[in-house]
Amino acid sequence: MSNKNLSKDELLSIYRSMVTIRQFEERLSAESKSGILPGPVHVYIGQEAVAVGICAQLTDDDWITSTHRGHGHFLAKGGTPAALMKEIYGRETGICGGKGGSMHVADFSRGIIGANGIVGGGIALATGAALAAQLDGKGRCAIAFFGDGAANQGVMCEAMNVAALWKLPLILVCENNGYSEFSKAADVTAGVLSDRAKAYGVPSEQVDGNDFMEVWRAAGRAVARARNGEGPTFLEARTYRLHGHVESEHTFLPKAYREESEVEAWRERDPIKAFAAMLSDGIASAQELEAIEQEIAALVEEAAAEAAADPWPDPEAAFKHMFA
Ligand SMILES: Cc1ncc(C[n+]2csc(CCOP(=O)(O)OP(=O)(O)O)c2C)c(N)n1
Ligand SMILES: [Mg+2]
C-alpha cells in the first residue's frame, strides 16, 4: 500500500474510522452471543476497508444505501456510534427512534438513506437517489453497497441498465466476501461479478477490498466520473467476513460451512492490521495508534452504557410515521 495524497491527519482519521467499526461490532458480537442483545446481528468485521475506503471519497451531500450487514457503512459515512448503538438496542433515543434496529438504520442528515433487510433492496433505492442527484445538478452521487449474493438479484441488472442509459451518478459497490449466508459463491454465482457490468457498457474494476488504499483510489476514480456526468461505475471489492453470517448461527447450524484454515488465512490479511502496518512504516508511532484504540474503546463503552440505560419507545410510537 502507498499512502500518496493523504495527510497524516487524514490517515489517522481513517484508522479511527476502521477501528471504530471493529470495536463497535466486537462489542455487539459479545452482547449478541451473551443474549443481552435480542434479534439477529450481522457483523462487518473483516470488511472495514471497503466502507471506509469508499466513504472517505464522499461528503454528507452524497447518498449511500446499505444492507443487513450495514453498521460499517453507517459509521464510515459519519453516523455516530451512540446513535447506532441505541438504535440496535431498540431505544427511543436511537437514530430511528428504536424502530429500525440493526438492519434498518438511516441518518438522512448524513446521506445515509437506509440499510435494508431485503437483499438487493438498496440497489434500487440508490438508483433513485442517483436520478435525484442528476436532476438537482449539484454534483452529488449515490452509492449502493451490496453483497455477492445480492448481485444475483434481478434488480442489479435493472439498475445497471437504467443507470448506464441515463448516465446516472451511481456507484455500485459489490462486496464479494465469497458467501451468501451459508452458500459459497462458487456454488451459487456464475462468472466474474465485475464482468457483468461490461454487458451494460458500465466501467468496472475489481479491487482488493482488504487494502484501504486500493479501495480509496478506485472510489476516487468512480466518484470523479459520477460528479463529471460520465455515469455509473461498478466496483467489485474482494473481501471476507471474519465472523459468521449472523452472530447466532452456532446455535442452529448442524455443521461448519467453511474451513477454519480459510478463515485463518483471511485473518492474516486483516484490513486493519494491514493499514496499521502501513502507518507504522514511518507515519505514526505505536503509541499514537494505541491512543486511538483506547479513545475508541471508551467511546464504544460509553455508547453501550448509555444505550442500556435509555428508555424503550412509547408503544404509541408504533403508529407514528406510518403514512406521509
Ligand atoms: C430478497 C431476500 N432474499 C433472501 C433473504 C435472506 N438473506 C439474508 S442475507 C442473505 C445473503 C446475502 O448475501 P450477500 O448479498 O453476499 O451479503 P453478505 O451477507 O455476504 O454480506 C440472504 C439470502 C433476504 N433477506 N432477502
Ligand atoms: Mg456475500
Overall residue count recorded for the chain in this entry:
324
pLDDT, one tens digit per residue, over 151-184 is 999 999 999 999 999 999 999 999 999 999 999 9
**Mean pLDDT, range 68-75, rounded to an integer:** 98
If one counts every other C-beta atom within 10 angstroms of the C-beta of residue 5, the result is 10
- The residue contributing the CA closest to ligand 1 atom 21 is 147
User: Measured between alpha carbons, how far is 65 from 27 in angstroms, rounded to an integer?
Assistant: 24
Least confident range of 225-229, 294-298, 315-319: 315-319
Tell which atom from ligand 1 comes closest to the C-alpha of 147: 15
pLDDT at 39: 86
pLDDT at 4: 60
Q: Are 143 and 126 in contact (CB under 8 A)?
A: yes
pLDDT at 50: 99
Tell which atom from ligand 1 comes closest to the C-alpha of 68: 9
**Mean pLDDT, range 70-92, rounded to an integer:** 97
Domain spans in the chain, listed from the N-terminal domain onward: 8-310
Tell which atom from ligand 1 comes closest to the C-alpha of 185: 16
CA of 127 to the centre of ligand 2 (A): 21
- The residue contributing the CA closest to ligand 1 atom 17 is 147
pLDDT, one tens digit per residue, over 138-151 is 999 999 999 999 99
Give ligand 1 pocket residues (Cβ under 6 A).
67-69, 117-119, 146-150, 177, 179-181, 245
Q: Are 155 and 124 in contact (CB under 8 A)?
A: yes
CA of 52 to the centre of ligand 2 (A): 18
pLDDT, one tens digit per residue, over 228-240 is 999 999 999 999 9
CA of 150 to the centre of ligand 1 (A): 6
Whether the pLDDT of residue 1 is over 50: the answer is no
- The residue contributing the CA closest to ligand 1 atom 2 is 119
- The residue contributing the CA closest to ligand 1 atom 20 is 180
Whether the pLDDT of residue 37 is over 70: the answer is yes
Whether the pLDDT of residue 46 is over 80: the answer is yes
**Mean pLDDT, range 88-92, rounded to an integer:** 96
pLDDT at 68: 98
pLDDT at 2: 43
Instruction: Indicate the pairing of strand 204-208 with strand 233-238.
Output: parallel
Whether the pLDDT of residue 206 is over 70: the answer is yes
CA neighbor of 274 nearest in space, from 10, 14, 6, 4 = 14
pLDDT, one tens digit per residue, over 2-34 is 446 899 999 999 999 999 999 999 999 999 988
pLDDT at 230: 98
According to the CATH classification, is domain 8-310 in 2.40.160.40?
Answer: no
**Mean pLDDT, range 84-95, rounded to an integer:** 97
CA of 238 to the centre of ligand 2 (A): 10
Q: Find how far residue 90's CA is from the centre of its chain.
A: 21
CA of 295 to the centre of ligand 1 (A): 34
CA neighbor of 201 nearest in space, from 230, 229, 173 = 230
pLDDT, one tens digit per residue, over 51-65 is 999 999 999 999 999
Burial (CB < 10 A; 0-12, 13-18, 19+), residue 29, is: middle
Q: CA quadruple 28, 29, 31, 36: dihedral positive or negative?
A: positive
The beta-carbon contacts of 12-15 under 8 Å, at least 24 apart in sequence, are 12/279, 12/284, 12/288, 12/292, 14/52, 14/56, 14/212, 14/275, 15/272, 15/275, 15/276, 15/279, 15/284, 15/289, 15/292
* Helices and strands in the chain, H and E counts: 11, 7
Residue 107 CB contacts under 8 Å (≥ 6 apart), including other chains:
74, 77, 79, 83, 95
- The residue contributing the CA closest to ligand 1 atom 4 is 119
Q: CA quadruple 99, 102, 108, 113: dihedral positive or negative?
A: negative
Longest distance between any two alpha carbons in the chain, whole Å = 56
Whether the pLDDT of residue 38 is over 90: the answer is no
Whether the pLDDT of residue 255 is over 80: the answer is yes
pLDDT at 5: 84
CA of 210 to the centre of ligand 1 (A): 21
**Mean pLDDT, range 93-112, rounded to an integer:** 96
CB environment 264-284: b (16+ within 10 A), e (fewer): eebeeebbbebbbebbeeebb
pLDDT at 322: 86
**Mean pLDDT, range 229-256, rounded to an integer:** 96
**% of the chain surpassing 90 pLDDT:** 95
Mutate to test the pocket of ligand 1, among 45, 180, 238, 248 (most ligand atoms within 8 A of CB): 180
Tell which atom from ligand 1 comes closest to the C-alpha of 180: 13
CA of 249 to the centre of ligand 1 (A): 14
